[in-house]
Amino acid sequence: PVLEILEAKGFQTVLSANTPTALQAAGGRPAFAMPLDFSWSVRSAFDRVKPSLLVLMEGELWPHLLAEAERRRIPVLCVNARITERSFRRYRLLGSLFVPTLGRVTAFLAQGQEHAERLRELGVPSERIRVIPNVKAAATAPERPAWIPEGPPLLVAGSTHPGEEAARLKRLAEELQREDRVVFLGWQQEILEVLSALDLFVLPSRNEGMGRALVQAMAMGKPIVATRVGGVSEVLAEGEV
């Protein structure tokens, strides 16, 4: 809905994102991969796009990106702004080193009062903060996939490894007499349709960097249960909604 609102105001929108799925959702709009936060790569992106407004989602507060926007006198709007408890503690430790980064954002549209209060405690003036509903959660989700039957809870076994692991899980489903309620999809390139139908996203991984499925589940507002491995703890805060 953010893009549609901006376009209704007369803006020509260009989308930049970190994932192929997000780029494919551009809907025919110009789109490109988000540059790494180096001064030279950020300058190159600004030179190509020549934006009059920079809109960031959630916590994409990259220092070089914001510094370049300030240098070019481009207003910055952070929509669906969120500061997790973990990020809040880290930013407070950085202290004055992080204050200039926050100061380069013209306005924050926080997704809840709790996040707005953390922004205030980090030094953002109240007049630059507004609390709004979570725009991602409010977005229309894809329709329920046809392969998901109505009835009791359904388990979807997604990125399971072929061979012994898949065979063991199938045997377990048979032993529990739940084989008709378990779907083994295997690895999927596009998972938005699957995520839209889930009530709970579970990531019981033994080794995880920064799983794209995890980030997409967060973007769709799904409750998440995950093992504390790899980069998971960087984006999830225990007990936080």
Query: What is the per-residue pLDDT for 46?
Result: 95
With a cut of 70, say whether residue 2 has pLDDT above it. yes
pLDDT of residue 25: 73
pLDDT at 231: 65
pTM above 0.75, yes or no: no
Residue type for position 183:
V
Which tens digit of pLDDT belongs to each residue from 89-127?
Answer: 888 888 777 888 888 999 998 888 889 899 999 989 988
Whether residue 206 contacts residue 224, with contact meaning beta carbons closer than 8 Å, is answered with no
Q: Which pLDDT value is given to residue 49?
A: 92
Tokens 């953390």 locate to 118
pLDDT of 71 strictly over 90: yes
- Residue 168 exposed, middle or buried by CB count within 10 Å (0-12, 13-18, 19+): exposed
The answer to whether 149 and 201 have CB atoms below 8 angstroms apart is: no
Q: What is the mean pLDDT of residues 157-164?
A: 65
Interatomic CA distance for residues 206 and 187, integer angstroms? 17
**pLDDT averaged over every residue in the chain:** 78
**pLDDT of amino acid 83:** 87
Confidence grade of residue 70 (pLDDT, cut at 50, 70, 90): very high
Mean pLDDT of 53-59: 87
Q: How far is the C-alpha of 1 from the C-alpha of 13, rounded, in Å?
A: 12
What is the tens place of the pLDDT at every residue in 189-234? 566 667 777 778 887 777 665 555 676 676 666 788 888 776 666 6
- Give the closest residue to 46 by CA, choosing from 27, 67, 22, 20: 67
Sign of the C-alpha dihedral computed for residues 74, 75, 80 and 82 taken in this order: positive
User: Can you give the pLDDT at residue 20?
Assistant: 76
For residue 42, pLDDT beyond 90: yes
32 - beta bridge partners? 16
Structure tokens at 135: 């725009």
